[in-house]
Every structure is written in structure tokens, then in C-alpha cells.
Amino acid sequence: MNLLKSLTMVSIITLLSRLLGFIRDSFIAKIFGAGVYSDSFFMAFKLPNLLRRIFAEGAFSQAFTPVLAEYKNKRNIIETKEFISAVLGILTILLIIVVLFGIIFSSLIVSIIAPGFVTTSYKLILTSKMLKITFPYIFLISLSSLASSILNIWKNFLVPALTPILLNLCMIFFIMFFPLYFDPPVLILAWSVIIGGFIQLIYQLVYLKKINMLVFPRCQYVIYNNINGVIKVFQKMGIAIIGVSATQISLLINSVFASFLITGSVTWIYYADRLMELPIGMFAVALSIVLLPALTDAFTTNNEKEYNKLIDLGLRLCFILIVPSSLILGFFSKMLLICLFQYGAFTYFDVLMTQKNLVIYAIGLLFIITSKVLALGYYARQNVRTPVLIAIFVLIITQLISPIFIFFLSHIGFAISICLAAFLNFILLLNKLVRNKIYIPEPGWYNFLIRITAVTMVLGLILSFFSIMISDQWLILSDLKFRIIFLCIICFFVLILYMLVLFLLGFRVQEFSLHKYKNNY
């Protein structure tokens, strides 16, 4: 298995999706700027995104994927389909309850997650209205995530990777052609989310049918047959929810503080997060998609040697892929924000405010992504408890210190607290894996880190020079078409330069093939 080859395919598709996401956000920034409308939508969409990480690619996926792989490897096709059907039945009931609760109590929920909005009645009413519209997205994206997990276990990485593109295309289409049909026009954003979620689900159901894994929910099967696998999934999901919720609770607490900051702060934080999510989506999410099924297969077949090498390769890939991403985010942060978002109502001042968070994210990006890879080492073994306990500990520590950063540094404090949490999470996860001998670093790390450091220094110096040479005013006065072309040229140049430096320092694609893994670098 060549991790780099599989990862490249998923990452390229994810990059396309993220670029479409930036185009979508460029339209939002141009039309709605950084004000009441954008703050209301981003806050309304925050809770569905939070719950998506619990019921979709977060807690549920972490619990469901390893057990499904176990059924696929050790049970027959009938038992596997009955297992999926039973899980789907229980998940559907839970999601319906959650969605109804969210719609009925939307005003109360907004008052809790954004108490600063209560003082402005229009802002509260508008956010509550959009929350009612977007809440069913949790149901649609959670079922879509279940379908993605099944397709990934059957080694169909392409379809799940393409699915997020559909939401971005849908939102771009509706933002371009239908905002004037709504009052206020920002409501089109909420409705496009629901329509996009429905399209995502239907698209994946077609491919489930092709692999003969399209089933209907059957809750009664659990009652009469007492499937241990179903019980195991929801027990582990319950534990995983605590861990995922720890991170999301931290973000919600930060949202409470953000609602009291000056208008525009929520939007500045959002756009910095969006740019940070590009490398996270391309590499962390893509690695999870490719690596988790492989780790699960190695564990269920008792191949501990392969299991160890997979984790080692995953970590090395993180270093290889994150170095250029962090340097681009750090040195070209202002240029990226100008090219992508400074149109219409989104001003140069908004760019400068957003840039501060983005530079800090660039420093902590490596720990954010490697933490996610280390966590896979636990999930593949169906050990959800350990990363959950670590997540809770990290939550307590960071929430004790993050209010201090926010008080003195305003919206910049959010980025600092997130990066500190990622660093602490990385240290604790790695220490536990090594101490329990679940992961033993393969030979060659010392030489590997020396070469990565050299690459970072060379590329950093070059990008620093280019960032000084590029004029902000030149970009500000240019049109959208020129900015996008210029941005693509810069990114392509950095990629070619980085690959050249890697090659000169002896890095080869074969190093990331499991069957050609070298003991010495």
C-alpha cells in the first residue's frame, strides 16, 4: 500500500472542494461583508457544524468505522448488512430527536451560544430564524457520513472525497442567482445549506447501491437479535461524544466570548479558520480517510508490525505536507486574504484583523494535524476512552487560560488557545502511544527531522523574500480574475520549489510505500 499515492488522490479532490469553498466565502464576503448578516449566519451555522462533528465525521465515524471493518473482515455479507441496517435505525431516531429539539428551541440556543446577540433584538431574531433552517442539515450530513464510512471501508475513497464539492457548488449557485428572492437576502445561505446536504446524501446512496450496501433502517433487529456490534458502536460513540464535545464545548465557550467583542470579530475568526481548514481538510481529513481503514485492517488481522509502520508513515507524511502549508499561511497570510476575500463590503481593515489569527494558526498547524493522526492509532483499536480522557484534560487546562488571552488580545486569543490545546494534545497522545508500546518510532527519525528542518529554513527564507517584494496595493487595485491567477501561480511556484528541495535532500516517493519501507533514511 502506497499511502502517498492514496493520499494524493484524496487531497487533490479535497483541495478542489476547499477552493470552491473559498470562492463561496468570497461571494459571501463581497455581498454581506463583516457585519450583522454574516455574523448571524456564521453563528447559526456553528451549532449544526458542531453537531455534525459529533453525529457525522466525529464521534460516530470513530466508533462505527473500526467495528464495520471488523464485520467486513470476519462476518458474512448478510450479517454485515444487518449490522449497518440496525445502526442506521438507531442513528435515524437520535437525529430526528436532535433536529426537532434544535428547531423548537432555536431562540434559547442562540441566547446560550451567543449571549451578546441578546442585546440586539434583530440580530437575535435573524440568527434564530437561520438556525431553524440549517438544523436539519445535521440529519442529512450524518447519514451522508455513514455512507462515506461504508464506501471508505470498501476502499472507494473517491466518492466520499467528491461529496463536499456538491455543497459548495450548491451554495455558490444559490448565492449568485437567488439572494434577491429572500428578505433579508442572507437567508439564501441557510436554504442553500439544506439543499446541498440533501444532494450530498442522494449522491452517495447511488454508490452504496452499486456495492450492494444500500439498506433501510431496522431498529427491531437490535431488540430481537441483540447484536453485540451495534451495542459496541453506540457505547463507543457515547464515549467519543464526550471527547468530541470537549473540543466543541471549548469552541462554544469561545463563541460566547466572541459575541461580546466588537462587531466583525466572529467573521474575522471564521475566515481565519476557513483558511486554516484548507490544509487540515487536505491532509488531516484525507489521512484519516485513507489511514483509518488500513490501520483497522492491520489490527483486526493481528498485524502489529504493519500497524506500527502505518502510524509512522502517517506522521512522516504530516511533516512533509504541513511544512509548505504553514509557511504559505504565515508569510503569505495577507496576500491570501486579499486575493480571496477583499471584495465589496470586506475591507482592508478586515484583512488585517483576520491576518493576525492566521499567522498564529500557521505556527500551530503541525500539532493540530499530527494530533488527529495519533488519535487514529487509538480509534483503529476501538480504544475511544484514552483520547477522550486526554481531550477532557486539555479542555480544562486551555479553558482556564484562554479567557486571559481573549481579555488582553481580543479575537487573537482564540487562535492562541487553539494552538496551545493542539500542542498539549499532541504531547499527551504520543506519550501514551509510545509508553504503552502501541507505537514505537521506526529508525531514521533523527535524519528525517534534520532534513525537514533544512527544507523549512530554505523555503522560509525564499518565501520571506517574496512576501516583502509583493505589494499589497498592487493586489488591492487588481480585479478578481487577476488575483486568482496570481495566487495560483504563487502556490504552483512554491510547490515546485518545495518538491525540488525535497528531491535534492534525498526524499523519494518510495519512502512512503508500506511494502518498500526503509529502515534507514
- pLDDT tens digits for 465-496? 877 777 655 555 566 667 777 777 877 888 88
Q: Which of 217, 236, 255 is the last residue of a domain?
A: 236
Q: How far is residue 330's CA from residue 358's CA, in Å, rounded to a whole number?
A: 7
Phi, psi dihedral angles at 2 (to 5 degrees): -100, 105
Q: What is the dihedral of CA 337, 167, 291, 381, to 10 degrees?
A: 120
pLDDT recorded at residue 474: 56
Whether residue 490 is found in the same domain as residue 355:
yes
Instruction: Using pLDDT thresholds of 50, 70 and 90, give the confidence band for residue 320.
Output: confident
In a domain, 259, yes or no: no
Query: Using one digit for the tens of pLDDT, what is the confidence trace for 450-466?
Result: 888 888 888 888 888 87
Indicate the pTM of the whole model: 0.71
**DSSP H helical ranges for 436-476:** 445-469, 472-476
In a domain, 60, yes or no: yes
The grid cell for 219 is 431498529
Residues 221/227, Cβ–Cβ less than 8 Å: yes
pLDDT recorded at residue 194: 92
Query: Using one digit for the tens of pLDDT, what is the confidence trace for 19-50?
Result: 788 788 778 877 777 677 777 888 888 777 77
pLDDT recorded at residue 521: 38
Query: Using one digit for the tens of pLDDT, what is the confidence trace for 162-211?
Result: 888 998 899 889 888 887 778 788 888 889 999 999 999 999 999 999 98
Q: How far is residue 325's CA from residue 327's CA, in Å, rounded to a whole number?
A: 6
Whether residue 17 is found in the same domain as residue 59:
no
Q: Radius of gyration (Cα) for the chain, nearest Å? A: 23
Q: How far is residue 104's CA from residue 186's CA, in Å, rounded to a whole number?
A: 21
Sign of the CA dihedral running 79, 83, 86, 92:
negative
Q: Which residues span the domain enclosing 494?
A: 1-29+264-521
pLDDT recorded at residue 382: 80
Instruction: Using pLDDT thresholds of 50, 70 and 90, give the confidence band for residue 226.
Output: very low
Whether residue 49 is found in the same domain as residue 23:
no
Return the higher-pLDDT residue of 511 and 92: 92
Q: Which of 221, 236, 251 is the last residue of a domain?
A: 236
Instruction: Using pLDDT thresholds of 50, 70 and 90, give the confidence band for residue 252.
Output: low
Q: How far is residue 248's CA from residue 236's CA, in Å, rounded to a whole number?
A: 18
In a domain, 245, yes or no: no
Peptide bond into 185 cis (omega under 30): no
Q: What is the mean pLDDT of residues 370-383?
A: 87
Whether residue 350 is found in the same domain as residue 389:
yes
In a domain, 253, yes or no: no
Least Cα distance to 204 among 253, 240, 152, 239 occurs for 152
Whether residue 297 is found in the same domain as residue 406:
yes
The grid cell for 11 is 487531497
Whether residue 429 is found in the same domain as residue 494:
yes
pLDDT recorded at residue 510: 64
Q: In sequence order, what are the beta bridge partners of 2?
A: 513
Count the domains in the chain: 2
pLDDT recorded at residue 391: 83
Whether residue 108 is found in the same domain as residue 206:
yes
Q: Which of 219, 236, 253 is the last residue of a domain?
A: 236
Instruction: Using pLDDT thresholds of 50, 70 and 90, give the confidence band for residue 149.
Output: confident
pLDDT recorded at residue 245: 64
Whether residue 301 is found in the same domain as residue 231:
no
Share of the chain above pLDDT 70, in %: 85
In a domain, 94, yes or no: yes
- The pLDDT of residue 347 is above 90: no
In a domain, 324, yes or no: yes
In a domain, 450, yes or no: yes
Q: SS3 for 2?
A: strand
Residues 372/427, Cβ–Cβ less than 8 Å: no
Q: What is the mean pLDDT of residues 74-94?
A: 85
Whether residue 3 is found in the same domain as residue 55:
no
Query: Using one digit for the tens of pLDDT, what is the confidence trace for 289-313?
Result: 788 888 888 888 888 888 898 899 8
pLDDT recorded at residue 2: 54
Whether residue 302 is found in the same domain as residue 230:
no
Residues 189/104, Cβ–Cβ less than 8 Å: no
In a domain, 251, yes or no: no
The grid cell for 97 is 430527536
The amino acid sitting at 277 is E
Stretch (H or E) spanning 171: helix 158-177
- The DSSP call for residue 75 is S
Instruction: Using pLDDT thresholds of 50, 70 and 90, give the confidence band for residue 519.
Output: very low
Whether residue 451 is found in the same domain as residue 516:
yes
- The pLDDT of residue 379 is above 80: yes
Residues 274/21, Cβ–Cβ less than 8 Å: yes
The per-residue pLDDT of the chain, averaged, comes to 80
Whether residue 219 is found in the same domain as residue 336:
no
pLDDT recorded at residue 416: 86
Least Cα distance to 61 among 221, 240, 212 occurs for 240
Least Cα distance to 130 among 107, 114, 113, 161 occurs for 107
Query: How far does Cα 298 stand from its chain's mean position?
Result: 25
